[in-house]
Amino acid sequence: MASILPALRLVSDPSRLRLLLLLEQEELSVAELQEILAKGQSQISTRLAQLKQAGLVDDRRMGKNAFYRLQAPAELMRLLRHAAREVPEAEQDREALRLALRKRKDKMRRYFDELAGKFGRQYVPGRSWKGVAEALLKLMPPMVIADLGAGEGTISQLMAQRAKKVIAVDNSEKMVQFGTELARKHGIENLEYRTGDIEDVPIRTGTVDLAFLSQALHHAVHPERAIAEAWRILKPGGRLAVLDLNRHRFEEAREMYADLWLGFTELDLERYLKGAEFRNVETAVVYREPEAPYFETVLAMGEK
């Protein structure tokens, strides 16, 4: 590095400072930095090129990917660590980095992602997602389940086959009426529908074994309150499962599906669950749609 002054001018930008702090902890690809910082590829690549030109980072090729590593002197990094106290996003970056590194190591997840992409492409008599779901549901122990934001209750009706009791909650009176009539028609006596909001659940505290939010959280005005309500109604040792969309940019979803949020990142869901005091929190992207707008489904689980 020819001079310290150009480097100081360069890292006075919080975005470039955050990049250096991340690369101090781990060598990272552009894709991983995109995920951690929630920034576009062009923005990150431009800033990395500036840092590389200044001699603060270096890169190496691995197949089609470029991995960036820190080259900045230790004296400069000590100064930047102090400056990071003035950048509130730096603390969030550390959490996002931890999640990204966990995903990198998770080879089994990549294997199952590939397997899931093949499932159903070729016809195999008797094999279907519904059949697999029914089989897995039969293996569940009898329990009290709350299906929050249940809609007409398709999933509730499936779970009721094995559950001790299912309470389906939805804020649409018409959905509740339709689901109630459907359950009565099919003689499902352990399924009860209740009108209510997922941010103010009409279920007594500590009475549920499993709380389930399937594609409902992005309709909540305050998602963290919905997660806190799920924690409230669970018994000690009870579990929460959240299925929702990964964060996306399909703005039309606000009009087409009345979505308030354009999905959530794994880190968002992890923060919500940990903020509500859930333990043993796990997240994963469990499905990627093969057609535009290529929605992804995220699963988050935690234990009270």
> Where do the domains of the chain lie?
4-105, 125-303
CB atoms within 10 A of CB 52: 14
E strand intervals along the chain? 28-29, 57-62, 65-70, 144-148, 165-170, 191-195, 208-214, 234-245, 279-288, 296-303
Please give the order of strands across the beta sheet that includes 65-70: 28-29, 65-70, 57-62
Q: What is the mean pLDDT of residues 121-145?
A: 73
Residue 107 has pLDDT above 60, yes or no: no
Q: What is the mean pLDDT of residues 13-30?
A: 91
CA dihedral 241, 227, 32, 42 (to 10 degrees): 130
Alpha carbon distances (Å) from 198 to 42, 194, 215, 221: 39, 11, 12, 10
Of the candidate CATH numbers 3.40.50.261, 3.40.50.150, 2.130.10.10, 3.10.20.70, the domain formed by 125-303 belongs to: 3.40.50.150
* pTM for the full predicted model: 0.66
Of 3-7, 156-160, 220-224, 240-244, the range with the lowest mean pLDDT is: 3-7
| CATH 3.40.640.10 holds for 4-105 | no
Which token pair is 230? 């799920």
Chain centroid, CA 121 distance in Å: 26
Of 121-135, 166-180, 188-202, 241-255, the range with the lowest mean pLDDT is: 121-135
Nearest to 198 by CA among 163, 151, 132, 152: 151
Q: What is the mean pLDDT of residues 170-191?
A: 91
174 and 182 Cβ atoms separated by less than 8 Å: no
For the chain, the helix, strand and coil percentages under 3-state DSSP, each to the nearest 5: 45, 25, 30
- pLDDT at residue 2, as a whole number: 42
- pLDDT at residue 248, as a whole number: 94
ω into 290 cis (within 30 of 0): no
